[in-house]
Structure 1
């Protein structure tokens, strides 16, 4: 198999046109087209159908794309592999996750892991959830953490547990001491919403639809950490859970149970097609301990 042909195929899948793919790899469009043709002829397959200037993946192309990314990722890792052998340094544990859970869950787990396994370096890569699926298909990670479901259906995650979304208010707000809140209680408060590409926004919107209620959005942000800081600044309320809430803002924010249950499941996942990192199991245990402590602390706070 011609690896350059494989690279052209992957770039066309990402870019949508042969011209942009050729630019990415510094080839003429005709040369890129020939490489793509070589790949199709070698295996007697059709990877794309032509639609004006765009190349539309065939079902075979769609199915082959994750495997192509995996092969290219393994090739890209060869220099790192030999560099690692020459340095004789411990192999870094490569973590991937999306931004929402970094401060509240992943970073505390890394700190605890460094205490348990001080000789194992960690490399953390953070991607928007919409890009996390592509990174998973690239297979360049040892351990992934995410809310569930995962953005790809080719991996079976290990479930950490489930928490409930709550109304996040500044602790000095008059409603912060309530046992439970519903749409009627907050209908006149400024709502700081996550944008509609996020899992949390979709969970909230579905719950509001089932309750036949509406919330008027005052501010909209794409990251939970931004919403929490606006709540900390007394600009309104948002929805959060005790696992994802940033420890830096947590002392200023009250999480009040919501009238309608809004469950948020969390999990971790490992690469399915290669050997595990020797310390992946140790990190999984630390992550589970941190998650359980967050849930336990939230339950204790509710009963006090």
Structure 2
């Protein structure tokens, strides 16, 4: 099948997804609503599937539409980078770092590393994006980024990995919880508590949780399942239940939660993801070195807080 969607049709589609309506998307691109509708219909005709359900004047994304949205975003992102790349080449200042990270690494690891790198390399231009783990590997394999940071294992044949940190599993509880002062918690000691977890079948963290419980001969029975560890921690911070994650999620929430080591040898491995067939610019290695340094400092913090053995 030959596909040749126009740039305008992709822009209209992503704008509808972002703005929630055809009329707003048409206004953004200075088109009439009927012209924008024709662009959308042309795109759907070429793809061979509907991107939206039509409900009177409302457009509701189909499942295929939601999946295609991520790919359209990736393509448009690459095109948006072209002017900067051309300008840098003209000025012979092609010092760029394009990186992408999973959300949970941003505050504690990536942000401090970027701040240090930027202070030292003032001519460096950094493009930083945050995406769920399931998209990072595909985007890297398509050379949209020089480096990604996420959870192991990798599942793409065109990606190579370098582990930079292994973090322990911790129990995250509301501040003031009756179990908060324990030096360690087993799963048995949590049986009377409400479990808040990521989706156990749809997310890597959820599947990790199942493994942790299975190793103890138990099955997780979540009271609430969410899409991310951050959402799970937010519910715990409100005073209800507990969740199991790495310490990054608890530190991001702050003083409204308490973390206690889990009696388990399970660890969360975090790694750099690199395109296998691409020669990385020097700044990639410099950034990786900064991340390793920040990660070592973070592990020292965990030792001081009693979350890992000293």
Q: TM-score, normalised by structure 2?
A: 0.69
SS of corresponding position for 1:156 = strand
Matches of 2:263 and 2:140, distance apart in 1: 36
Q: Deviations over 1:32-85 (max 9, x none)?
A: 99xxxxxxxxxxxxxxxxxxxxxxxxxxxxxxxxxxxxxx99998655432333
> For 1:202, which of 199, 203, 207 is the aligned residue?
207
Matches of 1:126 and 1:214, distance apart in 2: 32
Q: Deviations over 1:134-187 (max 9, x none)?
A: 212211101111110123133221110211111111232121111211122111
The reply to whether residue 180 of structure 1 matches residue 184 of structure 2 is yes
Matches of 1:105 and 1:149, distance apart in 2: 19
CA contact (8 A) 1:228 1:238 kept: yes
The reply to whether residue 225 of structure 1 matches residue 230 of structure 2 is yes
RMSD: 3.5
Shift, 1:287, TM fit: 0.5
> For 2:131, which of 127, 131, 153 is the aligned residue?
127
SS of corresponding position for 2:255 = helix
SS of corresponding position for 2:214 = helix
1:134-213 alignment to 2 at 5 Å?
134-196=138-200, 197-213=202-218
Q: Name the counterpart of 1:102.
A: 106
Matches of 2:220 and 2:47, distance apart in 1: 51
Matches of 1:25 and 1:86, distance apart in 2: 39
CA contact (8 A) 2:146 2:274 kept: yes
Matches of 1:207 and 1:32, distance apart in 2: 42
Matches of 1:26 and 1:277, distance apart in 2: 40
> For 1:273, which of 262, 277, 290 is the aligned residue?
277
SS of corresponding position for 2:281 = coil
Q: Which runs of 5+ in 2 are unaligned?
A: 6-38, 49-75
Structure 1 residues 80, 283: CA separation in 2 closer, same or farther (over 3 Å shift)? same
Matched pairs, number: 253
SS of corresponding position for 2:129 = strand
Structure 1 residues 118, 75: CA separation in 2 closer, same or farther (over 3 Å shift)? closer
Matches of 1:165 and 1:177, distance apart in 2: 17
Q: Which runs of 5+ in 1 are unaligned?
A: 9-22, 34-71
Matches of 1:79 and 1:166, distance apart in 2: 45
The reply to whether residue 288 of structure 1 matches residue 265 of structure 2 is no
Matches of 1:132 and 1:177, distance apart in 2: 38
CA contact (8 A) 1:104 1:245 kept: no
Matches of 1:237 and 1:26, distance apart in 2: 49
Q: Deviations over 1:80-114 (max 9, x none)?
A: 43233346666331111222322332223222322
Give the 4+ runs in structure 1 shifted more than 4 A. 4-8, 23-29, 72-80, 87-90
